[in-house]
A and B are shown apart, each in its own frame.
Chain A
Amino acid sequence: MSSPSAPPPTPSPPSPMKEAGARSTTRLGDRIFSGLSKGSGIALLVIMAAIAVFLAIRAGIAIAADEGNFLTTFEWDANADPPRFGIAVLLFGTVVSSVIAMVLAVPVAVGIALFISHYAPRRLATPLAYVVDLLAAVPSIVYGLWGALYLVPRMTGPFQWLDDVLGWTGVFAYDGTPARSLMTVGLLLAVMILPIITSVTREVFLQTPKANQEAALALGATRWEVIRMTVLPFGRSGVISASMLGLGRALGETMAVATVLSPSFLINASLLESGGGTFAQNIASQFKEAGSMGRDALIASGLVLFLLTLLVNGAARLIIARRKEYSGANA
């Protein structure tokens, strides 16, 4: 190998330093390794591009053939001729159930993480952390069965109570039918995303510099004030990242939602009554009976889920980047 900047070969014997320097760029191991890592990087881009192109083409076919409006139609008759389908109900159901899950899970997860990292005695903290991690090891179909067989019948009471107190808003109206609703799904999703959010936040909280916590203590801060002054701001971007990981799982969760939810292509103003659907649940429920056009329609809905996830992650990155210089990463 020669580069334009390399000195011309000289008759004088090269010094050992020079020789080593010249050889280091062409050493076999280095070349193999750099080739491997470059190859992996390119492979990732190729695979992503292939998936995107495949999704876009099939989705394009379906959307072009759609007799209804892809964004606003409250219907999913993709196998009919002509096909009529729209994602409005799925988008609503996916976003609403995930938002419910986040609202319920994030505060609890932050609380558990703080308890494990700053309050619990070590003898309690270690097993507790282990139990939380164990929650993540339960397969989602098991969560689905638990949700359908255990959670749904037990939600009737609380839902009735919510109806009594907040029923007038319409959002919490309840008709007493089995609670196979977006609210129950959201609750189940909250349990499912709890472990990932908890363990990531816990790790971040534990990394709060001791020097900063001592500085707060020395100013006369109580334990809670130490947490508010140092741990929470330091862990802020970590909590956001952890929440996004959880949200990603909630948005894409399939089996648990499909097992619990009683789907319909209507948007019910009440979150407690059954109905609605999510992207992933709809794909799982309809895929088997779908014809060629039906599959393309499902792929189109999958593409929207993909874009939604991308959007959410982008937003999270923006939030984190905006306060980067205060993040404590440079301390």
Chain B
Amino acid sequence: MAKRIDVSALTAYYGAHKAIDGITLHVEPASVTAFIGPSGCGKSTFLRTLNRMHEVTPGGRVEGKVLLDNEDLYGQGVDPVSVRRTVGMVFQRPNPFPTMSIYDNVAAGLKLNGIKYRRSELDDIVEKNLRGANLWNEVKDRLGRPGSGLSGGQQQRLCIARATAVEPDVLLMDEPCSALDPISTLAIEDLIDKLKTEYTIVIVTHNMQQAARVSDRTAFFNLAAIGEPGRLIEVDATEKIFSNPSVQATEDYISGRFG
């Protein structure tokens, strides 16, 4: 089930360095929200605070609140492991497990919950998610082959299938197409459009056409200077951000005047 995300006054640090400062943002359920902004503005850091991956980095810590349908991800006694089961993530570079077959990659997350699935159940889940990732027809005859043998675009769709197989509520995507060619990018964008009916999707992208194509809402991040923390400048409906943004900096960035 897609869930709503409410972030309030979120600040993230790497050791003593403040990476993002005081971000307040709402993400609508079953929609696509794009994060855009220049390099180093903290989009990826912010994304990683949404599934508590930020704290995996040594020195990474967070202040503020992230509510997932009114449940605070940073509340007392909340296990980051269970947060990551509800908030899935797709990374910049396709990263299928090299030691596993295509099938086992998709099933990887299911083996974590301690639940034993029957082989037939597992077969169904793998097929459903590979179909969901528009990959089934390309790999159905070689499910036992290593995932690392696929093309970059196929690997990324495999990673999406792996992320959706555990049925998360939210799907975070950190520049999922930046290592892919235009055709594979198009395939992923089509997929995002299809997935948004079931998942709340947050995507970080450097490609503004992509943000305009796939997202319902767009958030623009910026930083005052190198070394300063990143801030949220504005967030609005994507058409509004790209046609008539309320902040001058957003218009400058989108029209290519800087960044």
The residues of A with any CB-CB pair to B shorter than 8 Å are 209, 211-212, 214-222, 225, 229-230, 233-234, 236, 325-328, 330-331
Contacts and interface: CB of A to CB of B under 8 A. Distances in A.
Given A214-B91, A326-B146, A220 B98 contact: no
A209 B108 contact: no
Nearest to A233: B99
Interface residues of B, number: 29
A326 B100 contact: yes
B53 A218 contact: yes
Contact of B84 (A219, A233, A236, A326): A219
A219 B149 contact: no
7 smallest beta-carbon distances between A and B, as pairs: A220-B85, A233-B99, A328-B98, A331-B98, A218-B89, A219-B109, A211-B95
6 contacts: A209-B98, A214-B91, A230-B97, A326-B146, A328-B99, A330-B98
Interface in B80-132: 81-82, 84-85, 88-89, 91, 93, 95-101, 108-109, 112-113
Given A219-B166, A234-B98, 5 more contacts: A216-B97, A219-B109, A219-B162, A220-B85, A328-B99
A330 B148 contact: yes
Interface in B27-69: 51, 53, 56
Q: For B88, B97, B100, B159, which residue has the most chain A Cβ atoms within 10 angstroms?
A: B97
Given A221-B112, A225-B112, A236 B99 contact: yes
A225 B111 CA distance: 10
Nearest to B155: A331
Chain A binding surface SS class: helix
Given A211-B91, A214-B56, A218-B88, A327 B98 contact: yes
Contacts of B100: 233, 326
Contacts of B166: 219-220
Contacts of B93: 211
A230 B113 CA distance: 16
Nearest to A329: B98
A215 B97 contact: yes
Contact of B99 (A219, A222, A326): A326
A218 B168 CA distance: 11
B98 A326 contact: yes
B254 interface: no
Contacts of A229: 97, 108, 112
Contacts of B109: 219-220
A331 B51 CA distance: 25
B146 A325 contact: yes
